[in-house]
Structure 1
Amino acid sequence: MTVIDLGELGPDFTANPYPYYAELREAGPVHAVRTAYGMDAWLVVGHEEARAALTDPRLSKSASVVDLVPLEEEAVGLHLLAVDPPDHTRLRKLAAGAFTGRRVENLRPRVQRLADQLVDAMLPAGRADLVDSFAFPLPIIVICELLGVPAEDRDTFRRWSNELVTPSGEISEQEAVEGFAAYLDELIEDRRASRPTDDLLSALLAHSAEDGDRLSRSELRAFVYLLLIAGHETTVNLITNTVRALLTHPDQLAALRADFGLIDGAVEEGLRYEGPVENATLRFSREPVAFGDVVVPARSAVLVCLASGDRDPDRFPDPDRFDIRRDPRGHLAFGHGIHFCLGAPLARLEARIAIRTLLERLPGLELDPGAGPLEWLPGGLMHGVRHLPVRW
């Protein structure tokens, strides 16, 4: 059996993995790989197979299947992305009760005000790093306010979060996750001792205090941890990747500027074409699982490649073409099945407002040609750039 070492594919693969995934899809729907961090896993690359894998109960989200206890689980606890039914069913129900569509929709005016304020601050300079000046602060402020977390702590969250999903080596994973856990414990205790407010953390605390089914202390901490990371990391890259795609496809940019009724299509195509999550978080096979002619052995790590599935020509004709008028339904950017992203409505709301605001208020927006090469996020979980220099 040939094991493909993804870490040896180099910076070209990190920046543009799609040609590599196309070659893998031609050879078969699943492949034995070694990740950039030296873990052996099976990589699912076809759209149909990825969609099936995301709902296959034989593929567990719990690392206990392979007798592992991740550092994150030890320090923070079990969250929605690390458990199976019936625990997942119970946690999802409790979380969904607090994270409602109405709560998200009520954020629309605030998201618009934030987007305008961030553009106001950018305007005088004539150029900016879109990540630092806009795509990062927008979702992190929103999720901090939604949870009732002090906004002044967002730079600390960013440092911890970056280290956990796209390691830089500036601090250790253990330092990041333990620092995050300690902060959340203090935050939750402070909120528990104070008068309840209308924020999401208060709503979650109310769930944890109700008779009957409830969030335990560990579950509450883990859910807030997940929301703080997933609630901004994905949206930062969704905004940045979609803006970059538009700026490098002038015909699509012109079409959107001419008709902002296409904004929903632009965001969905951005999710499909260059989504923020390259590979779903790990699954583990409880028993042998067949993908075509290949059988993944029991007790194996499985990576479902969302980026490859969304460029599969069997599902999306001419998949390497960025087309905001395309019907992108069925894309996997937010996952599929019971682990479909709980925060997808918020991410879509933020991206639609953010991109429209940028294009309306910065009519000359373009990539900064003198900024040098882009620095791509490592690791294979998130896909995006650390900085996106632009000018107008």
Structure 2
Amino acid sequence: MTGTFDWTDVEFDLSDVNFVTDREAGERWTGAPRPVCPGRFSDGADVYVVTRYEAVRSLFADRRVSNHPPEGVHLDSMRRRGVPEELLKYFDSTIMTMVPEDHRRVRSLIDRAFSVRRVKSLRPRIERLADQLLDQMDPEGETDLVAGYAHPISTTVICELLGVDDEYRDQWLKWSEAFTTFVRPDPEILPPALHGMVDTVIRLIGARRAQPGDDLISDLVQISDETEKLDEVELVALVLVLVQAGLDTVRHSISLSFFNLLVHPDQLELVKSHPENTVQAVRELMRYSGPIKMALPRFAAEPIEIDGVTIPKDGQIQLVVGAANNDPERFTDPRVLDVTRADNPQLSFAAGDHFCPGASLATAETEIALNKLFARYPDVRLAADPDEVGPRFLKAVTRLPVQLV
């Protein structure tokens, strides 16, 4: 097949709330009939859906594929999603959608914050935090591992790293839930949430400019004020992205990891009995059912042919990481969770120039959260029907009640 699809009969429709939330519909991503299929994005735009491992991996690294949308496309999409006009500049200037030269300039500023040495220095703080949260749990009662463990770990670590004050942390989760949805956001909820996020970041930047601290926002403010590497809009946009990514991705990584281990007792026993191998286990948990199912949309800078399908110049591309990580042509028995899997080049943190800078920190937080809880409560068990609390393909675990003993 070459040329364009029949867009009246899409196979993957992200604008349909039933498709997004239905488990059976979501499973179709992993069994797509070909590497490239016709789809529809949440804002109604046509999109080329790419699901096979080799195709997804190659497009992550393909310089003919750009994260920077054609002129006006991203702005129009945000308007359709309900982003207020006065805030568009902050969500159109993110590191995720910049042209390559701007991306490299801004990316170099944050790689230091997530260096191996920085992550290693954070481990004692993460371990103390996990211990404190475990101390607060009632061993005899029911505990929600999302609200009582995964959320406070992810929120505290990223907010302390950046310098987000305590008073904003719980509120940020509510704002986040209004924004990070695959369906069209509620027009009554989204604008005030976005205003809250932007206004808070602007206040934090002003506070760190007046009184710098030992945090990433202070470092970025100094760079912005003393060099030409970051302007004020880019500064606000960068902080927004870092808080959002650090909070949501890690919270879901920890929650999904616990869920999948609790419903696979044989794998749970392996993790408990070999805590020294938990990093390898986390990689497999991310492959099997990680929090990032789809990458941000890409665009073809020139025509690209994949398996006989031609994606035209400016065509929107949706790389489905969740499907690629379960491609039977790349992974043996992909729907089997195997925490001892050694050959595991999963794509949950993307690849190429846009590989997630916080990947090592997210892995460390998940590893520590698992080991700490299983060491304290080795007999922990799920206290709800797995079908009731389990994830759908594009919706993560939001509640995870457990009995600790």
2:69 aligned partner, one-letter code: A
Deviation per residue, 1:68-87 (Å, 9 max, x gap)? 31346424451211113111
Partner of 1:385: 397
Q: Please list every run of 5 or more consecutive structure 1 residues that lacks an aligned counterpart in the other structure.
A: none
2:10 aligned partner, one-letter code: V
Using the alignment, how far apart are the partners of 1:127 and 1:302 within structure 2? 43
User: Which residue of 124, 136, 144 maps to 1:129?
Assistant: 144
Q: Which moved more, 1:56-65 or 1:161-170?
A: 161-170
Give the CA deviation at 1:155: 1.3
- Is the Cα–Cα contact under 8 Å of residues 40 and 301 in structure 1 kept in the other structure? yes
Matched, 1:226 2:241: yes
Using the alignment, how far apart are the partners of 2:343 and 2:216 within structure 1? 31
Secondary structure at 1:133's aligned position in 2? helix
1:23 aligned partner, one-letter code: G
Give the CA deviation at 1:377: 6.7
Matched, 1:322 2:337: yes
Secondary structure at 2:137's aligned position in 1? helix
User: Which residue of 219, 234, 237 maps to 1:203?
Assistant: 219
Partner of 1:267: 282
* Structure 2 CA distance for partners of 1:182 and 1:77, relative to 1, 3 Å: farther
User: Which residue of 55, 62, 73 maps to 2:61?
Assistant: 55
Partner of 1:4: 11
Matched, 1:180 2:197: yes
Using the alignment, how far apart are the partners of 1:277 and 1:263 within structure 2? 20
- Is the Cα–Cα contact under 8 Å of residues 259 and 390 in structure 2 kept in the other structure? no
Using the alignment, how far apart are the partners of 1:97 and 1:12 within structure 2? 36
2:192 aligned partner, one-letter code: E
Using the alignment, how far apart are the partners of 2:398 and 2:222 within structure 1? 37
2:56 aligned partner, one-letter code: A
* Equivalence map 1:333-344=2 (5 Å): 333-344=348-359
Give the CA deviation at 1:102: 2.2
Partner of 1:40: 46
User: Which residue of 347, 359, 369 maps to 2:384?
Assistant: 369
Secondary structure at 1:302's aligned position in 2? strand
Using the alignment, how far apart are the partners of 1:103 and 1:138 within structure 2? 17
Matched, 1:156 2:168: no
Partner of 2:29: 21
2:59 aligned partner, one-letter code: A
Using the alignment, how far apart are the partners of 1:238 and 1:327 within structure 2? 20
Using the alignment, how far apart are the partners of 1:73 and 1:59 within structure 2? 24
- Is the Cα–Cα contact under 8 Å of residues 18 and 311 in structure 1 kept in the other structure? no
Partner of 2:3: none
- Is the Cα–Cα contact under 8 Å of residues 65 and 284 in structure 1 kept in the other structure? no
Using the alignment, how far apart are the partners of 1:367 and 1:176 within structure 2? 33
Secondary structure at 2:117's aligned position in 1? helix
Q: Give the aligned length.
A: 385
Using the alignment, how far apart are the partners of 1:338 and 1:371 within structure 2? 37
* Equivalence map 1:59-74=2 (5 Å): 59-65=65-71, 67-69=73-75, 70=78, 71=83, 73-74=88-89
Deviation per residue, 1:169-200 (Å, 9 max, x gap)? 49533322222111111110111011x22111
- Is the Cα–Cα contact under 8 Å of residues 34 and 40 in structure 1 kept in the other structure? yes
Deviation per residue, 1:265-298 (Å, 9 max, x gap)? 1101011000110100111222221111111122
* Structure 2 CA distance for partners of 1:214 and 1:37, relative to 1, 3 Å: closer
- Is the Cα–Cα contact under 8 Å of residues 374 and 388 in structure 1 kept in the other structure? yes
Using the alignment, how far apart are the partners of 1:29 and 1:131 within structure 2? 35
Deviation per residue, 1:219-248 (Å, 9 max, x gap)? 111111111000110111111111111111
- Is the Cα–Cα contact under 8 Å of residues 66 and 300 in structure 1 kept in the other structure? no
Calculate percent identity across the aligned residue pairs.
34
* Structure 2 CA distance for partners of 1:175 and 1:56, relative to 1, 3 Å: farther
Using the alignment, how far apart are the partners of 2:170 and 2:258 within structure 1? 23
Secondary structure at 1:86's aligned position in 2? helix
Using the alignment, how far apart are the partners of 1:30 and 1:13 within structure 2? 22
Using the alignment, how far apart are the partners of 1:272 and 1:257 within structure 2? 20
Using the alignment, how far apart are the partners of 1:247 and 1:6 within structure 2? 31
| C-alpha RMSD of the superposition | 2.3
1:112 aligned partner, one-letter code: E
Using the alignment, how far apart are the partners of 1:65 and 1:306 within structure 2? 26
2:401 aligned partner, one-letter code: P
Q: Please list every run of 5 or more consecutive structure 2 residues that lacks an aligned counterpart in the other structure.
A: 1-5
* Structure 2 CA distance for partners of 1:16 and 1:5, relative to 1, 3 Å: closer
Partner of 1:288: 303
Using the alignment, how far apart are the partners of 1:98 and 1:318 within structure 2? 37
Give the CA deviation at 1:12: 8.5
Deviation per residue, 1:67-116 (Å, 9 max, x gap)? 33134642445121111311111111122234433222211111001111
Q: What is the TM-score with the length of structure 2 in the denominator?
A: 0.88
- Is the Cα–Cα contact under 8 Å of residues 21 and 392 in structure 2 kept in the other structure? no
* Structure 2 CA distance for partners of 1:377 and 1:183, relative to 1, 3 Å: farther
